Amino acid sequence: MKLAPNSAEARNNLGVNYLARKKSAQAAAEFEKAAAIDPSKESAWFNLGMASLQMSNVDRAVTALERARALARRDPQIALALAEARLRARQTDAAIEELRGLDEQSHGDPQVLVTIGVLLQRNGRSHEASEYFQRVAAGSAAAPLIWEAAHKSGNEGDYQSAWSLLMLLSSSRDNDAEWNELAGYTAFQPNRIESAMQYLQKAIRLNPNNEDYYLELGEVLGQNNAIPAVVTVLEAASRLMPELHACRMHAHSEEHGVFRNG
């Protein structure tokens, strides 16, 4: 920037680095400058919109993403971001219209349908989300795509979307340990405690040699102050696992607060 203060590309790239370091305000300032220097640079407008969303400045996000959309009409990433900004700004009809247009543009691409469904679910539009999820589930070879999307949603902390996607696979993967583990963990996060315990216990029965399943069941029990049950679970695990793994369980329990003082 010292060498080229009027470079839109340099300011945009500096903003991207600020954004990666979670410095949204500094990032937004650089993106605004980049867009002012070169108003035709759609990446600067898009990035300004994303930074504004992170700062919950939804009006500025909508404005910036509309500019990006006008410059790149067929960019699905911009369309999705604009739809989310409009949902958060309570411009529901415009958001739904944007998503329908993206659906038509993609000719029903299952990856796009899943992404739209997750976006709607994340923004409290469960009914519309379910329609997109069901369309994906009806397609051929949908299971791997749904499974991948459920994993991604769970990793991002979007447990409701992960749960909805996993339920689409319940009939085909009910006896799969990995499915039961993920269903149990996502059920636990929105406080479906009984379901979480049932799924995690079944995961253990299906694969008793996976220590992570014991740890997660212990976490569910610990969050409900069922400390004797936690001890029983971890003792059962330690009998099956090498001593090294038992040490890891103790560390995991302390890290996640399974055992509480008093």
Could you state, in order of their start, the residue ranges of all structural domains in the chain?
1-103, 108-171, 174-262
Question: What would the two tokens of residue 45 be?
Answer: 């407008």
* CATH of span 174-262: 1.25.40.10
| CB of 46 closer than 8 Å to CB of 65 | yes
Q: Check residue 222 and give its pLDDT.
A: 72
**Mean pLDDT, to the nearest integer, of 87-108?**
92
Q: What is the pTM of this model?
A: 0.70
| 56 vs 233, residue with greater confidence | 56
Judged by phi (left if over 0) then psi (alpha if -120 to 50, else beta), residue 192 lies in beta
Fold designation for 1-103: 1.25.40
| Rg (alpha carbons) of the chain, rounded to whole number | 23
User: Looking at residue 248, what DSSP letter applies?
Assistant: H
Q: So what's the pLDDT on residue 227?
A: 59
What CATH class is the domain 108-171?
mainly alpha
197 token code pair: 């315990």
What pLDDT does residue 133 have?
87
Checking if the pLDDT of 65 tops 50, the result is yes
Percent of the chain with pLDDT over 90: 44
Mean pLDDT score, 48-61: 95
Q: Are 16 and 44 in contact (CB under 8 A)?
A: no
Lowest mean pLDDT among 141-155, 158-172, 218-232, 245-259: 245-259
Look at residue 170 in the predicted model and tell me its pLDDT: 86
Q: Cα–chain-centroid distance for residue 170?
A: 20
pLDDT tens, 105-124? Answer: 988 888 898 899 999 988 88
200-253: pLDDT as tens digits = 889 988 988 888 887 787 777 776 655 565 556 565 666 565 553 444 444 444
Q: Where are the alpha helices (DSSP H) in the chain?
A: 8-20, 24-37, 42-54, 58-71, 76-88, 92-106, 110-122, 126-138, 143-155, 159-168, 170-173, 177-188, 193-206, 211-223, 227-240, 243-255
Q: At what angle do helices 42-54 and 8-20 cross, to 10 degrees?
A: 30
d(CA 262, CA 32): 52
From CA 193, how far away is CA 96, in angstroms rounded?
34
User: What pLDDT, on a 0 to 100 scale, did the predictor assign at position 124?
Assistant: 86
Q: What is the rounded average pLDDT of the residues 156-171?
A: 88
- Amino acid found at 68: A
What are the structure tokens assigned to 105, written together? Answer: 């543009």
pLDDT of 261 reads 31
Which residue in 102, 103, 149, 97 sits closest to 122, CA to CA?
149
Output the pLDDT for position 252.
46
How far is Cα 3 from Cα 161, in angstroms, rounded to an integer? 46
Looking at every residue in the chain, the average pLDDT score rounds to 84
Q: What is the pLDDT of residue 260?
A: 28
What's the pLDDT at 247?
44
CB 186 within 8 A of CB 159: yes
Alpha-carbon distance 236 to 91, whole Å?
53
Q: In the chain, pLDDT over 70 holds for what percent of residues?
A: 84
* Out of 7-16, 107-116, 188-197, least confident range: 188-197
